[in-house]
Structure formats: structure tokens, C-alpha cells
């Protein structure tokens, strides 16, 4: 489990392509390598990956073919930066919202509005996912817990503060880029439950 509070933006230093998977090597700061062990879970751009090897500051992750297809990890190159968060530990402060590291879909960046007063992103997702994205609701974007600023059709807007831009790779966003999206699990559960109950009641009234 994760909180969506990115701890560091780290460089991809090597990618080894194998049959059915890629092994990526990420250079982590010493603070994040401390007490990290193989088998541990670490979120990279919001994707929960298992540590397979540690060599000094380099941490190795195997990314399966399916994950490469449904997330933006398949677009990584040497020199790319990924948002990194180690898994939540008991007693840790939760500053964002609970994330599982299981990406639901990707969103395409339609607009980047970068002015002296604000930095806004307008994203587009498949219409079915908009059922779970609400104004002032939470959404995981490249592993960042963010609040939705506006919603229209199959688009939503994010207002990013300087602190978020300084600690994550979202400051490097460009129109046409794809970002990993994880829907808030509580929102999804509530929406799905309400829809199911309403459907059952409708069937009862029409039968």
C-alpha cells in the first residue's frame, strides 16, 4: 500500500529487455535504499513493483509485459525520471490517500497551462473511468495523490502547486504524454455499489 506522497524523483540508469519483461534499474537516494530488501514493494510512477536486486544505489525491478502495455513504464528510456514511493509502514503518517499501486488506465495530456500564477494539466481518459472522477475527489497520477480541480465530459483538470512540481516528474509533462491513473478505491466501491443497487431496484419495478 502507498499514500501517493512521492518521496523522490529518480533516474532510470539501465533497461534490459528480455522475453516477456523489462528489467529496469533505478538509482535511489541512500535514504530510500536504507533497510530496503529484495522482495519489497516500491511504487514507480504509481506502479507497484517488486525489488529483485539491490547493488549499492541501484535497485532492480522486473516489469512484466502486461504492465508495460497498460502503464507508461513501457515508454521509459535510460535517463527518464520516475516518481518513487516506498510502501507504507505501520504507524506512518498518511498525507495523501491510500493507493494500491495497481494502475487502472492511462490519461493523455491535452493541455499544459504553465504561467506565473499556476501550473495546470488537462487530462483525458476513457469515458468509463469518468464515473469515478469527481470535482474535489482524489486520483492517483503517476503515483501522486492529487485533487481533481474540474471535470468535463471525459476530461479533468489538475492544479499543481510548486511543492508537487519540485518533488515529482509532473513538471516535465508535455502535451501528448501519457500518465498512469489509479482510481480511488473507496470512490470506486461506492459508485459500483450505488449503481448495482439502483439497477436491482429498477429490475424489481419493471418485473
CATH of the domain at 27: 2.40.30.20
Are 110 and 124 spatial neighbours (Cβ–Cβ below 8 Å)?
Answer: yes
pLDDT of residue 103: 96
Say what the pLDDT of residue 28 is. 97
Number of continuous H segments (helices) and E segments (strands) in the chain = 4, 12
In a domain, 132, yes or no: yes
Looking at the domain assignment, is residue 93 inside a domain?
A: no
Q: What cell does 147 get?
A: 485533487
Same domain, residue pair 183 and 111: yes
Residue 34, classified by CB atoms within 10 Å of its CB into exposed (0-12), middle (13-18) or buried (19+), is: exposed
Residue 104 has what pLDDT? 95
CA–CA separation, 12 and 5 (whole Å): 20
Residues of the chain with pLDDT under 50: none
Query: Hunting for cell 532492480 — which residue is that?
Result: 60
**Domain membership of residue 129 as a residue range:** 105-191
Q: Which pLDDT score, from 0 to 100, does residue 94 have?
A: 67
196, part of any domain: no
Residue 78 is assigned to a structural domain of this protein: yes
Q: What is the pLDDT of residue 207?
A: 65
Q: How far, in Å, CA of 115 to CA of 89, rounded? A: 38
Measured distance CA(126)–CA(37) in Å, rounded: 37
Is residue 129 one of the residues assigned to a domain?
Answer: yes
Mean pLDDT taken over the chain: 93
Q: What is the pLDDT of residues 176-198, one digit of tens each?
A: 999 999 998 888 889 989 988 98
- Give residue 91's pLDDT: 60
Q: Could you tell me if 82 and 112 lie in one domain?
A: no
Amino acid at each position: 500500500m502507498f499514500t501517493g506522497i512521492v518521496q523522490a524523483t529518480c533516474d532510470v540508469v539501465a533497461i534490459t529487455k528480455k522475453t516477456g519483461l523489462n528489467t529496469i534499474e533505478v538509482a535511489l537516494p541512500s535514504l530510500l535504499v536504507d533497510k530496503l530488501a529484495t522482495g519489497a514493494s516500491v511504487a514507480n510512477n504509481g506502479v507497484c513493483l517488486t525489488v529483485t536486486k539491490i547493488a549499492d544505489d541501484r535497485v532492480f525491478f522486473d516489469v512484466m509485459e502486461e504492465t508495460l502495455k497498460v502503464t507508461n513504464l513501457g515508454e521509459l528510456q535510460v535517463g527518464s525520471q520516475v516518481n518513487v514511493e516506498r510502501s507504507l509502514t505501520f504507524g506512518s503518517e498518511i498525507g495523501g490517500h491510500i493507493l494500491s499501486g495497481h494502475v487502472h488506465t492511462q490519461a493523455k495530456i491535452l493541455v499544459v497551462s504553465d504561467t506565473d500564477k499556476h501550473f495546470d494539466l488537462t487530462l483525458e481518459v476513457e469515458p468509463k473511468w469518468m464515473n469515478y472522477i469527481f470535482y474535489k475527489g482524489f486520483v492517483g497520477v503517476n503515483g501522486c495523490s492529487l485533487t481533481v480541480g474540474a471535470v468535463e465530459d471525459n476530461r479533468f483538470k489538475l492544479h499543481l502547486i510548486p511543492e508537487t512540481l519540485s518533488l515529482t516528474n509532473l513538471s516535465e509533462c508535455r502535451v501528448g504524454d501519457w500518465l498512469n491513473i489509479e482510481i480511488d478505491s473507496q470512490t470506486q466501491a461506492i459508485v459500483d455499489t450505488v449503481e448495482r443497487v439502483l439497477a436491482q431496484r429498477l429490475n424489481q419495478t419493471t418485473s
